[in-house]
Amino acid sequence: MRYFTSYFNLENQEEHILFAKSLKEQLPSKPRPLLFLCIGSDRVTGDCLGPMVGEMLLNSPQKHLHVYGSLSSPVHGENLISVQQKMTKEHSNPFVIAIDASLGEPSHLGLVTLSNAPICPGKGVNKYLPALGDLSITGIVNQAGPSGFLSLQSTRLYKVMKLSQFIVSGIQQSLL
């Protein structure tokens, strides 16, 4: 399989529509349980994108979404494996969309990515966890570098909130 990654600028209104359309095109054509795996910690500002997206999805008008990870119940490095096992036990042949914050190049700060490659959580802070997801969505919250954890700690909550809103809006539109 050939992997792709697309970048979307949340400041451009046309990119909102393009993100939703691109996401919809990647959803399975045959019925499969759709799971949202929202990865991150609510204890570090830059890492709370996943839980924030999960919380917003749980509170969205679209009911019956299968969401794993929220502000009240985050999915992070310590419980990721057990949550993954729970997901496969509860759902037959699920289609998993993994969502996480990421660190990137200075020119990519504030962008949202959509990829048909699995996500590698913790990579930006030198943690090596299993790759997850049939699709992955990231919000690039800060600059990558040797001090990844410090970058996550110094990320502005406003940036994380705007990225989260963009992602949730795109997900909601793609499910219509």
Locate the domains of the chain by residue range: 5-22+31-174
Q: Does 155 or 150 have the greater pLDDT score?
A: 155
Q: What pLDDT is stored for residue 149 in this prediction?
A: 62
Poorest-confidence range of 38-52, 117-131, 154-168? Answer: 117-131
Examine the pLDDT at 25 and tell me if it is beyond 70: yes
Examine the pLDDT at 125 and tell me if it is beyond 70: no
Q: What pLDDT is stored for residue 58 in this prediction?
A: 94
Q: What pLDDT is stored for residue 13 in this prediction?
A: 86
Question: What are the tokens at 134?
Answer: 């049939």
Q: Does 137 or 155 have the greater pLDDT score?
A: 137
Q: What pLDDT is stored for residue 129 in this prediction?
A: 81
Q: Please, what is the average pLDDT of the chain?
A: 90
Domain 5-22+31-174's class? alpha beta
Q: What pLDDT is stored for residue 108 in this prediction?
A: 94
Q: What pLDDT is stored for residue 131 in this prediction?
A: 87
Q: What pLDDT is stored for residue 37 in this prediction?
A: 97
Three-state SS letters, the chain: CCCCEEEEECCCHHHHHHHHHHHHHHCCCCCCCEEEEEECCCCCHHHCHHHHHHHHHHCCCCCCCEEECCCCCCECCCCHHHHHHHHHHHCCCCEEEEEEEEEECHHHCCEEEEECCCECCCHHHCCCCCCECCEEEEEEEEECCCCHHHHHHCCCHHHHHHHHHHHHHHHHHHCC
pLDDT in tens, 6-22: 999 998 889 999 999 99
Poorest-confidence range of 5-14, 60-69, 70-79? Answer: 60-69
